[in-house]
Amino acid sequence: MAGYRRMKVDVIIACAMEEEAAPFREVTAFSGSGPWVGKIGGLDVGLVVSGIGLVNAAMAAADQHLDTDLYLVAGTCGGLAQQIRVGDVVAGTFASYLHADATAFGYELGQIPGMPARYESTRAQHMIPADHAGLVLSGNSFVTEDNVEQTREDFPLALAVDMETTAVAQVCYRRGWDWLSLRAVSDLCGPRAGEDFHIELNVAAEKSRDAVVAYLEEL
């Protein structure tokens, strides 16, 4: 389209749900009828509500209206690793697909043919305000008590699961953008006896927001 220009922002923050995006609007003045744009820590930031799931997340990341150097996934996730607790903030610096299986053709579990075995964020080398940092998994199915042990066996380094991060990481890989996930654990995939199973969505969303703001203010 003649005259079409993308808006360049320093960071895009993407949340799957409006409830996860709401805390960001409490700390800065976002405005706009499309992607909301505001400032955090002196940075121009676009706030996007993608919708839940891999396709929705990929479509939002591939949207041509905004351009950026860093795409940051915020909100909530499910705790997978044994050391994860409800309320912890997990920095996803590596990402893989939960249900991708082309191992019959020599690919690693979680790898899409022709794509990296793990998507890696260069932010893995940064100091990130999170309780844990490492591998997160994404899929369109929930990990429950029925399949959590198999998932841990298949991906022994995975910390948490969600339904968006890896799709975002794949789009960013194709677009040449950096990415990072900073999400708070709202529930546990396989809680042990006596553990808290979940916290309210808004509480986890605020924890994610606080981590994102702290990170951006230090950039």
CATH number at residue 53: 3.40.50.1580
Catalytic site includes residue 187? yes
Domain membership flag for residue 2: no
Q: What is the 3-state secondary structure (H, E, C) of the chain?
A: CCCCCCEECCEEEEECCHHHHHHHHHHCCCECCCCEEEEECCEEEEEEECCCCHHHHHHHHHCCCEECCEEEEEEEEEECCCCCCCCCEEEEEEEEECCCCCHHHCCCCCCCCCCCCCEECHHHHCCCCCCEEEEEEECCCCCCCCCHHHHHHHCCCEEEEECCHHHHHHHHHHHCCEEEEEEEEEEECCCCCCCCCECCHHHHHHHHHHHHHHHHHCC
Residue 86: what pLDDT? 94
Cβ(68)–Cβ(10) below 8 Å? yes
Residues of the chain above pLDDT 70, percent: 93
pTM of the model: 0.92
pLDDT digits 0-9 by tens, 71-105? 999 999 999 999 999 999 999 999 999 999 999 99
Q: Give the chain's domain count.
A: 1
Residue 164: what pLDDT? 98
Least confidently predicted of 17-21, 37-41, 168-172: 37-41
Domain membership flag for residue 101: yes
Domain membership flag for residue 1: no
User: One of 10, 20, 69, 88 is an active-site residue; which one?
Assistant: 20
Domain membership flag for residue 197: yes
User: One of 10, 101, 178, 187 is an active-site residue; which one?
Assistant: 187
pLDDT digits 0-9 by tens, 161-178? 999 999 999 999 999 999
Domain membership flag for residue 180: yes
pLDDT digits 0-9 by tens, 203-214? 999 999 999 999
Domain membership flag for residue 136: yes
Catalytic site includes residue 20? yes
Query: CA separation (Å) from 177 to 68, 77, 79, 170?
Result: 7, 23, 27, 10
Range of the domain at 23: 7-217
Residue 2: what pLDDT? 44
Cβ(11)–Cβ(54) below 8 Å? no
Residues of the chain above pLDDT 90, percent: 76
Residue 1: what pLDDT? 40
